[in-house]
Amino acid sequence: MDDLRAEIDRVDRLIVPMLLERIQLIAQAGHIKTDRDTVRDDWRIEDVVAKVKAEASKHGGDIDYIETVYRYLIEYSINHEFDVWDAVYGLEAKRKA
């Protein structure tokens, strides 16, 4: 069991930096999009999910697991992007209204 746990820890050490890189890219999107209504993009959500499911299938993996993880990741990312957008543009948008 110790060897298995060590392997899980190794995989986590690979995943965490990639997740942190991904959330930084999401934050960049929050700075680029000038319209809050464009933060949630249903077409893009389904595009990402389709791509990761195809990748899971290519590797013979559990497609339902990957879809569930990614749908959670995407929702978290969208909420983070809304927070970034609000911090960058929210006050300015309120002044214009």
27-37 pLDDT, tens digit per residue, is 999 999 989 99
At 49-77, the pLDDT tens digits run 999 999 999 999 999 999 999 999 999 99
User: What pLDDT does residue 90 have?
Assistant: 82
May I ask the CATH architecture of the domain 2-96?
Up-down Bundle (1.20)
Q: What are the structure tokens assigned to 92, written together?
A: 């300015």
**Residue among 91, 79, 93 nearest 39 (CA):** 79
Give the start-to-end residue ranges of the domains of the chain.
2-96
- Look-up of token digits 């993009």: 41
